[in-house]
């Protein structure tokens, strides 16, 4: 299984963040997705990455503290399917573990605050 690489997008503005609203996108970079016009969905080893895939967020004590989901996958190019992360709120925690399908990654609150809670996730390659 390929590793999930989660990188945090840098905020391009100096606007302060008043809420802990997570936004961003999930990019599936592979030829392993089904296409229908501009829409796409993961298949085979990536069948857990699709429109509506749940995002479960746990805190440093492994408690579920928030839920979100991926939006509709849109074909960006021949090998990239991009899913928006439907915005959701996070309560304050020291660490956040994001579970998306069969994959997960952990970030500290400081890392997310620094980047305005904007995430960009990549899978495949």
The predicted pLDDT at position 8 comes to 32
Local structure of 48: helix, strand or coil: coil
Local structure of 107: helix, strand or coil: strand
The predicted pLDDT at position 19 comes to 57
CA-nearest of 1, 48, 58 to 26 is 48
Q: For residue 102, how far is the Cα from the chain centroid?
A: 12
Q: Is the pLDDT of residue 52 over 70?
A: yes
Q: What is the DSSP letter of 10?
A: P
What the block records as the tokens of 101 is 């399908």
Per-residue pLDDT reduced to its tens digit, 72-123: 999 998 899 999 999 999 999 999 999 999 999 999 999 999 989 999 999 9
Q: Is the pLDDT of residue 3 over 90?
A: no
| Residue reference for tokens 């008043």 | 18
The predicted pLDDT at position 67 comes to 94
Whether the Cβ atoms of residue 72 and residue 31 lie closer than 8 Å to each other: no
| Residue 49 or 14, more confident | 49
Whether the Cβ atoms of residue 35 and residue 20 lie closer than 8 Å to each other: no
Give me the chain's average pLDDT, please.
Answer: 84
Half-sphere exposure of 65 (CA within 13 A, CB side): 18
Pairing type for strands 64-70 and 95-100 reads unpaired
Predicted TM-score of the model (pTM): 0.80
């Amino acid at each position: 299984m390929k590793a999930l690489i989660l990188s945090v997008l840098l905020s391009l503005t100096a606007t302060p963040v008043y809420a802990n609203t997570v936004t961003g996108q999930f990019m599936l970079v592979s030829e392993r997705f089904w296409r229908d016009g501009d829409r796409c969905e993961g298949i085979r080893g990536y069948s857990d990455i699709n429109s509506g895939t749940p995002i479960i967020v746990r805190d440093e004590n492994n408690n579920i503290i928030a839920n979100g989901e991926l939006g509709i996958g849109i074909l960006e190019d021949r090998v990239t399917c991009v899913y928006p992360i439907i915005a959701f709120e996070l309560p304050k925690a020291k660490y956040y573990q994001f579970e998306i399908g069969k994959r997960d990654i952990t970030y500290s609150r400081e890392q997310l605050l620094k980047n305005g809670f904007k995430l960009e996730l990549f899978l495949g390659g």
